[in-house]
Amino acid sequence: MKLKSTELHPLMQEYLHELHVLRQLSGHTLKAYGLDLSDLQNFALEDSVDLLKVSNAHVRRWAGRLHSKEKSSKSIARALSAWRGWYDWLTEKDARRDARAGKVTSNLVANPVDDVKAPKRLKSLPKALSVEQALTLVNQAVKEAEEQKDLETVRDAAIIDLLYSSGLRLSELLGIDVMQSKDRHQESAGWLDWDAAEVTVLGKGGKRRSVPVGGPAMKSLLAWRELRDASSYAEESIALFLSATGKRLSPRTVQARLRSLAIRAGLPTHVHPHMMRHSFASHVLQSSQDLRAVQEMLGHASIASTQIYTSLDFQHLAQAYDKAHPRAKAGKG
């Protein structure tokens, strides 16, 4: 049967009908499957291949064409799933041909989509602020703290400064105490060494690490400690960062305060605490090119986890090249 590219094969229509009636798939899913089966049919028409005589080699070639059309790994995986499902249905239908008055529906021996896998999904790069954006955010926090001088704004400036200065996870930051506890029954998860300008935290896997704290961040932290120690809550908790009620600060509060601060700073993106960690790693790597040092400061068990920031570094270099090099845009436009 010769088909037009816009006309879906009767057996494909029958398959979609069964999915609708027996498996009760949603209209959205059926439409997606229909489009995927249409792609399969069009590839077969282009290569003059009978749909019922498609081989494993054909499927691999057509999956490659989907990839060349810049289809995502997720889309290709869904297409292969739709194709595999149809051919599975065909082989089962073929096996039941004796029960259907001897009518042979296909000559398939095996599913041609078996063992064909979609390309691996590329790991998305972590979102980091540019150096200018990070400084804008920190400067906004410090400016508000200097102008308002209240507990919350001064505390927020210390938090933002420390996140960007030392690349801490939010859980690590919130576990920091004003000083290391001497009570063996209440061991500190983390603490600040004010003289050494160094913070010690408890990271993933129960591993401790110490990270230096920059001068500007220490200034913000000292300003916060002065207000904190003068508050009525100072003796009730050893936690460094306290809420308005004197409790150890919650993750949700930090997230909300940072989001609000970013809006006031005019940043065009949603900012969350982990973005400050990504920004720290990316910017230190841009300056130092020392991957091992960044790995240690982030507390990554494997260098592979840190290497993703080299992609961000390359992205930064590419953008700088496009802006600065006199021949970067040669031939464009």
Given the residues 20, 65, 219, 274, select the one marked as catalytic: 274
Given the residues 60, 65, 67, 169, select the one marked as catalytic: 169
DSSP assignment of 226-285 equals: HHHHHSTTTTT--BSSB-TTSSBPPHHHHHHHHHHHHHHTT-SS---HHHHHHHHHHHHH
SS3 91: helix
Confirm if 105 and 91 have CB atoms less than 8 A apart: no
Task: Name which of 2, 15, 7 is nearest 91 in CA terms.
Answer: 15
DSSP assignment of 6-74 equals: TS--HHHHHHHHHHHHTS---HHHHHHHHHHHHHHHHHHHHTT--GGG--HHHHHHHHHHHHHTT--HH
Residue 190 C-alpha from the chain's centroid: 27
Confirm if 213 and 166 have CB atoms less than 8 A apart: yes
Confirm if 114 and 83 have CB atoms less than 8 A apart: no
Burial of 269 (0-12, 13-18, 19+ CB in 10 A): exposed
Q: Is 309 annotated in the active site?
A: yes
Q: Is 67 annotated in the active site?
A: no
Given the residues 33, 87, 164, 309, select the one marked as catalytic: 309
DSSP assignment of 122-144 equals: PPPPPP---HHHHHHHHHHHHHH
Residue 288 belongs to what H/E stretch? helix 273-288
Q: Is 270 annotated in the active site?
A: no
Q: Is 100 annotated in the active site?
A: no
SS3 290: coil
Given the residues 9, 58, 93, 277, select the one marked as catalytic: 277
Given the residues 61, 97, 100, 204, select the one marked as catalytic: 204
Contacts of 208 (CB under 8 A, 6+ apart): 200, 201, 202
Confirm if 202 and 180 have CB atoms less than 8 A apart: no
SS3 149: coil
Hey, which residues are catalytic here? 169, 204, 274, 277, 300, 309
